[in-house]
Structure 1
Amino acid sequence: MATVEIPRQLADFTVLSRLGVGGNGTFYVATPPPRLGLATDRVVVKVFGGLCSDDAYRRGVRELRAFAAVRSPYLAALYDAVLQGQFMYAMEYFPLGSLGEPSRPLSRTERLAALADAARGVDALHEAGIAHANITPSSVMVTDGGGRISDLGLARVLATDEPITSFAQPGAVQYMDPALLAGDAPSRATDIWSLGACLHRALTGAGVYGQIPDAQPLLAIRAALSTPPALSENLAPDERAVVANCLALTGQRPGTAIEVAERIDALIGR
C-alpha cells in the first residue's frame, strides 16, 4: 500500500497528523498559528479537493461566516478560512472523533446522545435560515456526554455550477434526501431526512438503501432514486417510529430538528 504524504504546513497551520478523507476533502490535525489567539493547541483543518477560484472562495467564506454567526453550544467552532490554490478552513478538534470515525467504540447511548445534540445544532442553523446540506455520521462530532454538528455542506456552495455527481461522495448518498438527489434545494425537511438516515445507521449499523455502489456516485444516485428506503428488522418499535417519521414524505416529517432531538433523547431516557 502506498504511503500517503502528509504536508508539514497548511498555510500557517503546522500539521501534526492526517485524520482521514470525507465530505470532498481531507482532514488534518494541526497546531494553530499565534495570530488566531486560540486557547487550544489543536485544531482540525479541512482541505477541499481541487483548485478553488476566487469567486468560490468568497462564496465559501460567506457560508462559513453565516455558520459561525449562529450561537449554539451544539455547533462546532470555526476559526479560519484560507485560499492557497485549494480552499481550506480550520475548526474545533474533537478527540473522540465522529459517529462515522470514532476514536473508540461508542455505546448506543453515546451514539444517540451525540446525534440528538447534533440535531439541536441543526435546528439552530435552521432558525438562522441555513440548511446544513451535508449531515452524515462523519459530520456528527462526539463529545463527553453528547455531540455537535460540523462540516457544513460547502461542496455544493463551492461548485454551484456543477452537477450533484461532481460532489456526492462515497457513502454520502445514503444520507441524502431523494429530493436533493433529484435536484431540489437543501431545506429544513431535507436535513431532517438526513438525521433520520443517520439515526438508522447509529441504531443498526446499516444504511437505509442497503448495498448500493457508493464508490460510484452516479450509480449510487440512480440506485437511491429507484429504491425506496428500507428499515432494518432489528429496530425496536419506538426506534422504527422515529426513523420512519424522519424519512416520510415531505410535509409528514417532524416540523423541526429540535423535535427530532427530543424524540432521540426519549429513546435513551435522556
Structure 2
Amino acid sequence: MTAASATPAAIADYEIVRMLAEGNNGRFYLARPPARLGLAEEFVALKVFGDRIGEQAYERGVRELRAFAAVRSPHLVRVFDAVLDDRFAYAMEYLPLGSLAAPAQPLPMPTVMVVLEHAARAAHALHEAGLAHGDITPTNVLLADEGDGRIGGRLSDLGLARLLSPGNTLTGLGRATSVEFMDPDLLAGARPSRRTEIWALGATVHRALSGAGLFGELPDAQPLLAIRKVLAGAPQLHPGLPPEVAELVGECLAAGDARITSAREVADRLAQMSST
C-alpha cells in the first residue's frame, strides 16, 4: 500500500489534507482543525501514534500533553488538542519550514545556532517545570518564521512513547538512528532527566552543525546493531567542527561532574557563538 492510498480522509473530527512525514512511533499529517477548537490557524500538524492504546494510556498521554502545554516558552511548539479515535493523536501548530533534520531551504550556520539555542531554552523551560522532553533530536527541532527574514526554533514532539507503551523495549521507541541522540545511561535503564537531555542536546548540536553522527552512520533497519555500536564505542567529534562548538559538545557528553548541568547554559553559549 502506498503512503497516498494509506492516508485517511479524516481522523476523529480532523480533515486530513496529506501526510507530512513518518516519525518515531507514528505519522504526521497536515490537517484542518475542527471548529470546536476556535483556532485562527487554517492547518495544524496532527501526530497519530502507530499503536492502539487503551483509555489509561490515553489519560497518561493527555496529562503529559497538558503539562507540556502549560510550560511558558516561546520556543515550545503549541499543542492544541488530543483525541482517541482508534489510535492516540494530538494536534500542534503547523510549521512549514521543516526541521533541522529536513529544512525546506539551506540554513547558514549562524541561523542553525539560533535554532539550536531556542531548542535548548525550550528544554530548560521544561526542566524547570519538572518535565523531561524524552526525544530531543534534529527531527524534533522545527523551524519557525519569526518575521523580517529571521528563522527561530521550536522544540516539538514530546517523547510520549515511554508513557503510551511502557512495556516497549528500546528498539520499539523509534528508528534505530535515534539511538545516536540517547545518553548511553538511558540504554542501561536510566530515566530521562536533565542530565540525559544535555547529552541529547549535545548530539543534536553535533549532527546539525557537522552533518555527521557521533557514532558514524547507524544502520536504521537494524536497531540492535545500532545499540551495540553505540554501547561498544565512544562518541567521536567531527574534526570540521569549530573549536568552540566542539568544546560545547564535548562538555554536553562528558562523564560525571564534567558535564554541563543545565540546558540554559547550552543555550547561552550557543547564543554567544551565533552573535560573533
TM range (shorter): over 0.9
Q: Give the Å deviation of 1:211.
A: 2.3
Q: Name the residue aligned to 1:249.
A: 255
Offset at 1:52? 1.0
- Once the two structures are TM-superposed, the CA of residue 238 in structure 1 deviates from its matched residue by 0.9
Residue type of the partner of 1:251? D
**Preserved CA contact (<8 Å) 1:189 1:250:** no
Letter in 1 for 2:114: A
Does structure 1 residue 157 correspond to structure 2 residue 158? no
Is the 1:174–1:208 Cα contact (8 Å) retained in structure 2? Answer: yes
Indicate if the aligned counterparts of 2:101 and 2:208 stay in contact, CA closer than 8 A: no
User: 2:119 maps to what in 1?
Assistant: 118
| Cα offset, 1:3, TM superposition | 4.8
* Equivalent of 1:221 in 214, 218, 227: 227
Deviations 1:84-139 (A, max 9, x none): 12111000111211111212222212221111101100000000000111001011
The residue that corresponds to 1:38 in the other structure is 39
* 2:4 paired residue number: 4
Q: How does the TM-score come out when normalised to structure 2? A: 0.94
1:162 Cα shift? Answer: 2.1
Given the alignment, which residue of 209, 222, 241 partners 1:235?
Answer: 241
Residue segments in structure 1 that go unaligned for 5+ positions in a row:
none
Residue 205 of structure 1 corresponds to 211
Counterpart residue identity of residue 73, structure 2: S
Tell me which residue corresponds to 1:57.
Answer: 58
CA distance in 1, matches of 2:249, 2:272: 13
C-alpha distance in structure 1 between counterparts of 2:200 and 2:209, whole Å: 14
One-letter amino acid matched to 1:243: V
Give the C-alpha shift of residue 168 in structure 1.
3.3
Asked if 1 retains the 8 angstrom alpha-carbon contact of 2:111 and 2:274, the reply is: no
- 1:22 alignment partner in structure 2: 23
Q: Distance in 1 between matches of 2:103 and 2:17?
A: 19
Match of 1:188 in 2: 194
Please, which moves more after superposition, 55-64 or 210-219?
210-219
Aligned mates of 1:155, 1:217 — CA distance in 2:
16
Alignment-derived partner of residue 109 in structure 1:
110
Q: CA–CA distance in 1 between the matches of 2:12 and 2:225?
A: 37
Conserved 8 A contact 2:176-2:218: no
What is the number of equivalent residue pairs in this alignment?
A: 270
The 3 A distance-change label for structure 1 pair 3 and 167 is closer
Q: 2:129, 2:26 → 1: CA distance?
A: 26
Write the letter of the residue equivalent to 1:170.
A
**SS of residue in 2 equivalent to 1:115:** helix
Counterpart for residue 73 of structure 1? 74
Distance (Å, rounded) in 1 between the aligned partners of 2:141 and 2:256: 23
Partners of 1:250 and 1:43 lie apart in 2 by: 42
Change over 3 Å in CA distance of 1:249–1:261 after alignment to 2: same
Query: Over aligned residues, Cα RMSD in angstroms?
Result: 1.4
What residue identity is the alignment partner of 1:15? I
SS at match of 1:251: helix
2:142 corresponding residue in structure 1? 141
| Worse-matched range after superposition: 115-124 or 204-213 | 204-213
Deviates more, 1:42-51 or 1:155-164: 155-164
Please, which runs of 5 or more residues in structure 2 have no aligned partner? 146-150
Q: Identity of counterpart residues, as a percentage?
A: 51
Range 191-200 or range 205-214, more displaced = 205-214
Q: Superposition pairs for residues 169-180 of structure 1, below 5 Å?
A: 169-180=175-186
Regions of 4+ moved over 4 Å: none
Counterpart amino acid of 1:184?
A: A
Distance in 1 separating the partners of 2:24 and 2:72: 24
Distance 1:3 1:53, change over 3 A: closer
> Which residue matches 2:148?
none
Listed one character per residue, the Cα deviations across residues 213-233 of structure 1 (whole Å, up to 9, x for unaligned) are 222222211111111100001
